[in-house]
Structure 1
Amino acid sequence: MSVEPSADLQAPPGAWTEQAAALLDRVRNGRAATRQELGQGLRLGRKALPPLVSALLERGLLTDGATGAATAARGRRELRFAPDAGALLVAQFGATGLSTAVADLEGRLAGRHHETHDIAAGPERALGRVEELFDRMLDERPAGAPAVWGIGVGLPGPVEFRSGRPIAPPIMPGWDGYPVRDRFAARYRAPAWVDNDANLMALGEVRGGVARGQHDVVYVKIGTGIGAGVVSDGRLHRGANGSAGDVGHVLVGGDSPVRCQCGRHNCLEALAGGAALARDGTAAARDGSSPFLAARLREREASGGSVEARDVADAAHAGDSAAIALLSRSGRLVGDMLATVVNFYNPTMIVIGGGVASAGDLVLAAVRRTVYERSLPLATRDLRILRSADSVDVGLTGAAHMAADELFAAHALARWLPLGSPVDQPELTEANVGEERRPAVRPRRT
């Protein structure tokens, strides 16, 4: 929605836009609903609040909701955030698949699409395919659908959040330094943000997944590779350059050196990730220790394939002792790493996601057992370790929340609110990065 800015909104950015951003933030995240609650929470006088509310209502960012039962007698109508004011394009890449969707400004997804894709095929093929899917979704929307306000993308490797570029990603040849953010921003004339996939999964979990309402959370993705996202005191912690949580390259013990795709030896993901399970499962098939995997290998080779991590899971479900040992070892190694994290960071919840974690209870049971055995009693007193309900959707949801949080941060809002919307302002991305991150967790009113 775009309207002519009022005189107040044409004023230089400053306290006014900071107050508008704070007001939107409280309504968006359910911490206030009535004008009285907003005035008290923001410590605004009677004269300061009405112009703020009126301007946000005028721009379609807030709506006057139904009168709450507790306040009906006093005629205080509830203010609600308007999630349909704009739309977000979101994409999530894994090592072997990609997912896309359109989301509203509260992270609700529509038009989900998932397909297999090899991230090692390079950025041109991968991003070109996502653009095809985005274009199709936009073409299929009804007339009058909200304009695209932003784009959020997750990648399975280290991402420098400030520039939106992957940096030396071990499983992504050809991607180093590629301007992913700039490509999407230029094509769709909208601000775009790119982050590591585990970070977005962590954000998705605390906003609407199994970790909703938790403030100190570690999300661990065990897929082809292994990575983690860290939420501390309600904020997604990216670190100085965006590489916080890259636990897949923690050194772990091994009987013999195993080379990781990063070039080092005995990294956690080289011994416990999906590629490691496929490698060790193939070895168990060839040496005869796993009859199930030997039969599966023959089937795979007939069509030019090989044993995959999911075959190891299938074998374990069938009672194959070699496969059970492989999955248990993977969980134990991840648990050893997490025990150190628990003692150091003391989270209230660990969420395990990714393709390997979803294969069954063996990995999760081994992680739990190892963490509780090797962590301090005080650090585990309130700790829960759960499996993610949906690693695909939670990443897309996290990408939407990332984009919405950046759009409604005070320094971005100051630039686009006077114009009515962030449409056709891709440069907003550069205005946002490096600023204080918005809190990731706040209970929403129901």
Structure 2
Amino acid sequence: MVGRESHVGFTTNPHALSESIVRLARQQTATTRTEIAEATAAGKSIITQRVAELVGAGILIDEGTAASTGGRAPRALRFNRGGALLIGVEINAARIDVVATDFTGTIVLQTSEEHDVRDGPVATLARVIDLIDRVKHALPPGSPPVLGVGVGLPGPVDFTAGSMVSPPSLPAWNAYPFRARLARALGTEVWVDNDVNAMVVGERALDDDRSLQNVIVVNIGLGIGAGLFIDGRLYRGSDGGAGDIGHVAYGDSNVPCFCGKTGCLSTIAGGVALTEMARSHAGGSESAILGEVVRRAGRLTLHEVADAVALGDPFCIGIVAEAGRQIGRVISLMVGVLNPSLVILAGELCVDSDVLLTAVRTSVIAHAPTIASRALEIRNSRLGTWSGAIGAAQMCIDELLTADRIRSWVESGGRAFAEAPAVVAPAVSARPVH
């Protein structure tokens, strides 16, 4: 039974009450009409009416009687997590990942394609539209409807405008109306955010401990960025630039950065820097494993560096460990300021090896204030390189399940969600196929 102390706030707005009911059912905080009435401080009759509307729209499922604690057994409710699909897209420097998921984040279909984001927003938009169309057409007959599309972009984003804001390495993307153009092409609602912010959403949504309120995700790709979930909310900053740690001037380095400054963290510890260092040693005596990896792949990217680390290449292990130590020192500053309970490392260097993780963890413990780090957990992402795409899909949920949208679904008299899940999800691979 849910006690009075858990009130989510009663309101006379019936659709705001419906939003609260859906949230309670999603979180499994209250699963019967009686529990919902206690959690919201609303009368049982109005709860019964709102629940009937939500069941009619397919958003909630009436599962029949629940266990009785005395008297007539109550009827249990659950959120229809598999009754609709979401599509998530992550666009990074060298690849586009697309997933279709249910409302739990379980992947139904996934696809990936190599793409150079420097080709510009128009070319990238065309590839995203094509990949989404492929995913939609590959869904089995009878699949639930796709209700929204989320996109993670590789740079600072104005969430309201749905466009990137002065991305240091991608000037052609500045203010390009990516969300509006994609929504027009698809005829579906679209939300756009920074790719690392999407990762934070994905990691939290699929983590066993949903109570975590202060989480930082650090993505180490060609550049370095952080997503911040602080006091239970995604923190974007005043202009969408929060967490852009790759362009923080660090140490005494005078290496020029493509942002126009010198000594940025990305220039000494980002994927571009690591790939250049590896390229100068590929095939040498201290990097024979990397040489073999490059020979088989026919190229040298961060993916090959990660493979060489996993296979035990001494040179690649050394440069990744040093990068981890430098990244860890910057993370230690964030830990001292924000005091998170969890730091998650994401990106290809964190999939098949703990080299980067060990170096980051050691550096943070050595440099962060003890009071802020003594209970801190630092670990690799459990979603592999799909965390951004999964998070982009999950990002849609809070935007979809609002009072106004629930009102439109209820007033339309139709079913927003399918009656039952129609798709069985395959296993998720850790890495996109190259």
Shorter-chain TM-score category?
A: 0.7 to 0.9
Q: Which moved more, 1:377-386 or 1:277-286?
A: 277-286
CA change 1:269–1:61 in 2 (3 A) is same
- Pair 1:363 & 2:356 matched: yes
What amino acid is the match of 2:160? R
1:436 alignment partner in structure 2: none
Q: 1:161–1:241: 8 Å Cα contact kept in structure 2?
A: no
Which one of the candidate residues 321, 324, 329 is aligned to 2:317? 324
Query: Matches of 1:318 and 1:33 in 2, distance apart?
Result: 49
CA change 1:333–1:113 in 2 (3 A) is same
Q: 1:88–1:403: 8 Å Cα contact kept in structure 2?
A: yes
Mapping 1:184-263, distance limit 5 Å:
184-209=182-207, 212-254=210-252, 256-263=253-260
1:43 alignment partner in structure 2: 41
Q: Which moved more, 1:320-329 or 1:187-196?
A: 320-329
Q: 1:88–1:105: 8 Å Cα contact kept in structure 2?
A: yes
User: Per-residue deviation at 1:392?
Assistant: 3.0
Query: Matches of 1:313 and 1:136 in 2, distance apart?
Result: 29
Which one of the candidate residues 146, 149, 157 is aligned to 2:147? 149
Which one of the candidate residues 378, 396, 402 is aligned to 1:403? 396
Q: 1:250–1:268: 8 Å Cα contact kept in structure 2?
A: yes
Query: Matches of 1:298 and 1:406 in 2, distance apart?
Result: 44
Q: What is the CA deviation profile of residues 1-43 of structure 1, one whole-angstrom value per residue up to 9, with x for unaligned ones?
A: xxxxxxxxxxxx9711111111111111221111111000000
> Could you list the runs of 5+ residues in structure 2 that have no partner in the other structure?
1-10, 417-434
Identity %: 35
Q: 2:19–2:402: 8 Å Cα contact kept in structure 1?
A: yes
Query: Matches of 2:122 and 2:200 in 1, distance apart?
Result: 27
Which one of the candidate residues 265, 268, 271 is aligned to 2:265? 268
> Could you list the runs of 5+ residues in structure 1 that have no partner in the other structure?
1-12, 424-446
What amino acid is the match of 1:292? A
Q: 2:155–2:167: 8 Å Cα contact kept in structure 1?
A: yes
**TM-score for the superposition, normalised by structure 1:** 0.83
CA change 1:224–1:43 in 2 (3 A) is same
- Pair 1:379 & 2:372 matched: yes
CA change 1:341–1:43 in 2 (3 A) is same
* SS in structure 1 at match of 2:228: strand
CA change 1:217–1:143 in 2 (3 A) is same
Q: What is the CA deviation profile of residues 398-420 of structure 1, one whole-angstrom value per residue up to 9, with x for unaligned ones?
A: 11221111011234444554235
CA change 1:148–1:339 in 2 (3 A) is same
Q: 1:293–1:311: 8 Å Cα contact kept in structure 2?
A: no
Mapping 1:150-169, distance limit 5 Å:
150-169=148-167
1:292 alignment partner in structure 2: 288
Query: Matches of 1:354 and 1:196 in 2, distance apart?
Result: 15
Q: 1:122–1:173: 8 Å Cα contact kept in structure 2?
A: no
2:331 alignment partner in structure 1: 338
Q: 1:87–1:147: 8 Å Cα contact kept in structure 2?
A: yes
CA change 1:211–1:200 in 2 (3 A) is farther
Query: Matches of 1:260 and 1:344 in 2, distance apart?
Result: 26
1:87 alignment partner in structure 2: 85
Query: Matches of 2:301 and 2:42 in 1, distance apart?
Result: 60
Q: 1:211–1:349: 8 Å Cα contact kept in structure 2?
A: no
Query: Matches of 1:421 and 1:177 in 2, distance apart?
Result: 37
Q: 2:225–2:243: 8 Å Cα contact kept in structure 1?
A: yes
Q: 1:296–1:311: 8 Å Cα contact kept in structure 2?
A: no
* SS in structure 1 at match of 2:87: strand
1:133 alignment partner in structure 2: 131
User: Per-residue deviation at 1:289?
Assistant: 7.8
CA change 1:134–1:257 in 2 (3 A) is same
CA change 1:148–1:51 in 2 (3 A) is same
1:178 alignment partner in structure 2: 176
Q: Which moved more, 1:30-39 or 1:395-404?
A: 395-404
User: Per-residue deviation at 1:158?
Assistant: 1.0
* SS in structure 2 at match of 1:245: coil
- Pair 1:277 & 2:274 matched: yes
1:26 alignment partner in structure 2: 24
1:351 alignment partner in structure 2: 344
Q: What is the CA deviation profile of residues 381-433 of structure 1, one whole-angstrom value per residue up to 9, with x for unaligned ones?
A: 2111011122333222211221111011234444554235798xxxxxxxxxx
Q: What is the CA deviation profile of residues 246-279 of structure 1, one whole-angstrom value per residue up to 9, with x for unaligned ones?
A: 211111114x411222221111112111111011
What amino acid is the match of 1:328? A
User: Per-residue deviation at 1:316?
Assistant: 4.4
Query: Matches of 2:177 and 2:314 in 1, distance apart?
Result: 46
Query: Matches of 2:312 and 2:99 in 1, distance apart?
Result: 38
* SS in structure 2 at match of 1:389: coil
Query: Matches of 1:114 and 1:296 in 2, distance apart?
Result: 25
Query: Matches of 2:216 and 2:362 in 1, distance apart?
Result: 17
1:4 alignment partner in structure 2: none
1:391 alignment partner in structure 2: 384
CA change 1:315–1:85 in 2 (3 A) is closer
What amino acid is the match of 1:351? I
* SS in structure 2 at match of 1:69: coil
Q: 1:190–1:422: 8 Å Cα contact kept in structure 2?
A: no
What amino acid is the match of 1:397? I
Q: 1:281–1:309: 8 Å Cα contact kept in structure 2?
A: no
What amino acid is the match of 1:223? G
User: Per-residue deviation at 1:166?
Assistant: 1.1
* SS in structure 2 at match of 1:115: strand
How many pairs were matched up?
Answer: 406
User: Per-residue deviation at 1:223?
Assistant: 1.0
Q: 1:282–1:297: 8 Å Cα contact kept in structure 2?
A: no
What amino acid is the match of 1:183? R
